[in-house]
Amino acid sequence: MSWIREGELNLLERISANILKAGPIPKHIAIIMDGNRRYARKRHVERQEGHSQGFEKLAETLRWCLQLDIHEVTVYAFSIENFKRSKEEVDGLMELAKQKFERLLEEQEKLEKHGVCIRVLGDLSLLPLNLQEVIAKAVVATKTHNKCFLNVCFAYTSRHEIAGAVREMAWGVEQGLIKPSDVSEALLSQCLYSSHSPNPDLLIRTSGEVRLSDFLLWQTSYSCLVFQPVLWPEYSFWNLCEAILQYQLNHRSIQKAREHHSESQAILQLEADRSCVAEMLQHQHQRHGNGMPMDAASRQEAVCRYTASREERVRHFLSALQHKRDSFFSDLCSPAVVA
């Protein structure tokens, strides 16, 4: 079954989509695709069939998103917590994922046509090597596509992601790429798996559960959260429309909160830079005994110089971090990789 389904909406769906598109449409939605196992019990089929139906629903939902001009989707495919399930179910999920990513590699022409970039976010080292390799090939094969983005969170939890971002910043300090004073909320955001994506505008969880289950906790602080009772394999175009309508009803307050947070972070960063400059000047005064205080203009110039140097350090660090991450995928694609 194809990752990307082509085709037009029916007449009623097209009319509804056009009405929705008269208002603000989320650029990026995140989905907790919950309810596959309950769907299997409801239909008296094997769990694996429920998971397979869930994947088919993802492909259909991606088609709806393209028709609605939603160009980025992030899905919770497999939590690190899911490793606690039975070996039979986990092995089945690993095999299903391998099959679907292999199918993706067979669909490169279609993915290129639509400009679909596939990203897989999570601790891939926890996965079987053969699955790591096929995921890496899919990521590398589509990395230059830039019309729409599918982010698959696999072997993922948000707390694990945040802890990993902290470790990356610690690595940067150890390597002398950044200073401890460069560590900030903004820098941590840029060290997350999702650093190349804007934060989701809308998060949807199906199945009636009303919790985030450790999914994108950092990124959804200012997102519209919609919890829907439908099981994921039974999700419909109309369920998606309902979620988007909820986003539109709350769009103004969400944007206002985001702007306020952005302004607050800019003020906090400026204050941090000023504090660092003041500390540096104090050390210079203590070392050289210079009793001449700096005037306001000179202090402002010093802050500007410090900000520029900090931003340059951060750019260099993020470039090194990206190279490290790219190397992980390219090394897995190398024929030299062995089990």
pLDDT for position 338: 44
Q: How many CA atoms lie within 13 A of 23 on its CB side?
A: 15
Please answer whether residues 207 and 35 qualify as being in contact, where contact means their C-beta atoms are separated by less than 8 angstroms.
Answer: yes
- The total number of residues shown for the chain amounts to 339
What digits encode the pLDDT tens for the residues 229-266?
999 999 999 999 999 999 999 999 999 999 999 999 99
pTM over 0.85: yes
Q: What's the number of CA atoms in the CB half-sphere (13 Å) around residue 199? A: 18
Average pLDDT rounded to a whole number, residues 56-68:
93
Instruction: Output the pLDDT for position 337.
Output: 46
Question: How far is residue 66's CA from residue 215's CA, in Å, rounded to a whole number?
Answer: 23
The verdict on domain 11-267 having CATH code 3.40.1180.10 is yes
Is residue 97 predicted with pLDDT exceeding 90? Answer: yes
What number is the average pLDDT over the span 271-276?
94
Beta-carbon contacts of 293 under 8 Å, excluding residues fewer than 6 positions away, are none
Q: What is the mean pLDDT of residues 23-38?
A: 97
The model's pLDDT over 188-219, given as tens digits with 9 standing for 90+, comes to: 999 999 999 999 999 999 999 999 999 999 99
- Is 70 exceeded by the pLDDT of residue 116? yes
CB-CB contact of 273 with 300 (8 Å) = no
Hey, which residues does 229 pair with through a beta bridge? none
Share of the chain above pLDDT 70, in %: 95
HEC sequence for the chain: CCCCCCCCCCHHHHHHHHHHCCCCCCCEEEEECCCHHHHHHHHCCCHHHHHHHHHHHHHHHHHHHHHCCCCEEEEEEEEHHHHHCCHHHHHHHHHHHHHHHHHHHHCHHHHHHHCEEEEEECCHHHCCHHHHHHHHHHHHHHCCCCCEEEEEEEEECHHHHHHHHHHHHHHHHHCCCCCHHHCCHHHHHHCCCCCCCCCCCEEEECCCCCCCCCCCCCCCCCCEEEECCCCHHHCCHHHHHHHHHHHHHHHHHHHHHHHHHHHHHHHHHHHHHHHHHHHHHHHHHHHHCCCCCCCHHHHHHHHHHHHHHHHHHHHHHHHHHHHHHHHHHHHHHCCCCCC
